[in-house]
Amino acid sequence: MKSLLIIFTACLVVLGAQDFKYVGVTNCKMCHNKAAKGAQYKVWSGTSHAGAFETLKSDEAAKIFSEKELDGNAWESPECLGCHVTGYGAGGYEVKDEAFWNPAAEDKAGKKAVKRMAGLQAVSCEVCHGPGSGYKSNKTMKAVYAGEIEAAAVGLLSASEESCKKCHNEKSPTYKEFDFQTASEKIAHSYPEGMGQ
């Protein structure tokens, strides 16, 4: 079985593994919400990342948006969405019309799409850890932690200073000096010691 997993992993690497899809934070919450496993979702929920999309609807955001002489609304603007949602422009969050957000009662696929899109309305897990379609299953995560699957082969990335600075940089109209070590400590949400082994 282990050799089969290694072959599978090698195939993913060879194929480029670039076809991973964003699944939304509600999928992450299913396994990462329990205190015994570190309650990563709860920790994330208390950070400004969790409310990043909603800040685009604030008076302060409207003021900044106006000063930049941009048209429309901050919460629909590519200039803002790139750093305030998950996966914008890369197969993740998309600006949708009213019809999308209100599917018919019998439209199960539409309701599922709404749930996924709503789960991308923040700077959530997949911004730092990569699109989750390849690693969202408990079985895959156990194999990653057991060393049977290479994390990157299923799209699971480690947060890095480089990934943070895609948004925390001088281009942001609200930029403040960014110290990766300090910022990482503020949002730390690791597994308890001994988990995943």
- The domain limits of the chain are 19-186
Q: Count CA atoms closer than 13 A to 15's CA, side-chain side.
A: 13
**Contact between 180 and 161 (Cβ < 8 Å):** yes
Whole-angstrom Cα distance, residue 175 to residue 188? 21
Tell me which CATH code domain 19-186 carries. 1.10.1130.10
User: Measuring CA to CA, which residue among 105, 125, 148, 111 is closest to residue 44?
Assistant: 125
Residue count (the chain): 197
Mean pLDDT rounded to a whole number for the chain: 87
Residue 194: the pLDDT is 57
Q: Which residues of the chain have pLDDT under 70?
A: 1-18, 192-197
**Contact between 121 and 53 (Cβ < 8 Å):** yes
Whole-angstrom Cα distance, residue 78 to residue 152? 28
Whole-angstrom Cα distance, residue 66 to residue 151? 43
**Contact between 26 and 171 (Cβ < 8 Å):** no
**Contact between 102 and 109 (Cβ < 8 Å):** no
* Amino acid occupying residue 127: V
**Contact between 120 and 24 (Cβ < 8 Å):** yes
Strand ranges (DSSP E) for 10-152?
none
Residue 192: the pLDDT is 66
Residue 9: the pLDDT is 40
* Amino acid occupying residue 122: A
Task: Tell me the whole-structure pTM to 2 decimals.
Answer: 0.83
Residue 73: the pLDDT is 93
